[in-house]
Amino acid sequence: MKTVFCQKKYAALLGVFLAFFVVQAVPVYAQRKITIKLASLIPENTPWGAAINRMAVEWAQATNGEVELIVYHNGVAGTEADVLRKLNLNQIQAAVFTSIGLNSVTPEIMTISYPLLIRNDAELEVVLQKLRPELDARIEKNGFVTLAWARAGWVKIFSKERVVTPTELRKQKLGTNPEELGMLQAFKAMGFQMVPVDMNDVLVSLNGGMIDAVYQSPISVAGYQIFGIAKNMSTVNLAPFMGGIIMNRTAWRRIPDRYKDSLMQICKRIEKEIDGSIAVLEADAIKTMSQYGLIINAPSPAEEAEWYRDMDQHENELVGHIFNREIYMKIKDILTEYRKAR
């Protein structure tokens, strides 16, 4: 009788223990899913948008659903300044940034956009290849992990009147994004007539004579229909337009280490896809705008050389004041070596 009682007692205790284990296991299992909210200003129906959607799918597959990437396209999370603040508060965990946002994270990055320092895709490739580890380290020091870098095309000059030399551009009222404070200061220091104008107001400003020209990527100019008024485009590559995807370090640490290499490999593949598709998109944008009246102005070799001489004359005003001297000298050394070898 005593034995039966003991068996019943232990069976009851075992039942209580199992019930407790099951109750506790439910939240533990539920916590395994890690949700990463990613904000992007870029429209979903672009190569960037499509690539980020693929990235979300592949991250879920690579982690067996443990890491869920939720993408907020089309700027619904706010401006880049808003997004950076939310990243720091961990309200979102990752973001796609243009050069403006990346510069806010790590100001040294702006040096890549030093006017006319890097002149073409090949030069940009060699600079990024050599400097990327250092730039990634600087970003990490500021609390973020770089998931991907991507080229978003080249900044060019679009104007109502033909512009092929810096002297001609100085006669124009040049519109600039007020959030690009560093570039505004740089061009102002070089003697250009700078007028801060929000992108949404560029067409009105061009129409009203508030500005005569802008420097923008051809993709943006096509998207905003700016070429309808600013019908002239100089072929000079003023500066590379960069983008990147970063995640705050807090969120990255939550992801199990066993998945991190796979996730980074996915990001590297997405990065290459974006680079290729953006190059095609930029070429298509210029071709399409040309069919609708855009005039492409290519400076002569002498006129192109004038741009480079003009920029060199202002090095002392820009380097160490607006652009980081250490990064500038490294880029310059890389390019000097590269150009000699060609």
Per-residue pLDDT tens over the stretch 88-131: 999 999 999 988 888 889 989 999 999 999 999 999 999 999 99
Distance CA 268, CA 264 (A): 6
Q: Contact 159/230 with Cβ under 8 angstroms?
A: yes
Q: Residue 82 is part of which domain span? A: 31-341
Burial class (CB in 10 A: 0-12, 13-18, 19+), 36: buried
Assign residue 315 the CATH number of its domain.
Answer: 3.40.190.170
Is residue 219, in this structure, part of any structural domain at all?
yes
Is residue 289, in this structure, part of any structural domain at all?
yes
Digit-coded pLDDT (tens) for 310-320: 999 999 999 99
The total domain count for the chain is: 1
Position 319 scores a pLDDT of: 93
Mean model confidence pLDDT for the chain = 88
- Residue 234: pLDDT band with limits 50, 70, 90: very high
Distance CA 22, CA 74 (A): 42
Pairing of strands 295-297, 232-234: parallel
Digit-coded pLDDT (tens) for 145-170: 999 998 888 999 999 999 999 999 99
What is the secondary structure of 253-309 as a DSSP string?
Answer: HHS-HHHHHHHHHHHHHHHHHHHHHHHHHHHHHHHHHHHTTPEEEPPPHHHHHHHHH
Tokens of 137: 């380290």
Count H helices and E strands in the chain, helices first: 14, 10
Is residue 244, in this structure, part of any structural domain at all?
yes
Please count the other Cβ atoms lying within 10 Å of the Cβ belonging to residue 315.
Answer: 14
Q: Which of 186-200, 253-267, 275-289 tops mean pLDDT?
A: 253-267
Is residue 174, in this structure, part of any structural domain at all?
yes
> Mean pLDDT throughout 202-216?
95
* C-alpha to C-alpha distances, 282 to 180, 187, 222, 223, 241, nearest whole angstrom: 22, 24, 9, 11, 12
Is residue 199, in this structure, part of any structural domain at all?
yes
Is residue 12, in this structure, part of any structural domain at all?
no
Q: Among 4-18, 70-84, 196-210, 283-297, name the one with the lowest average pLDDT.
A: 4-18
Q: pTM for the whole thing?
A: 0.83
Is residue 80, in this structure, part of any structural domain at all?
yes
| Residue in the block written with tokens 């095609």 | 280
Distance CA 38, CA 94 (A): 4
Is residue 9, in this structure, part of any structural domain at all?
no
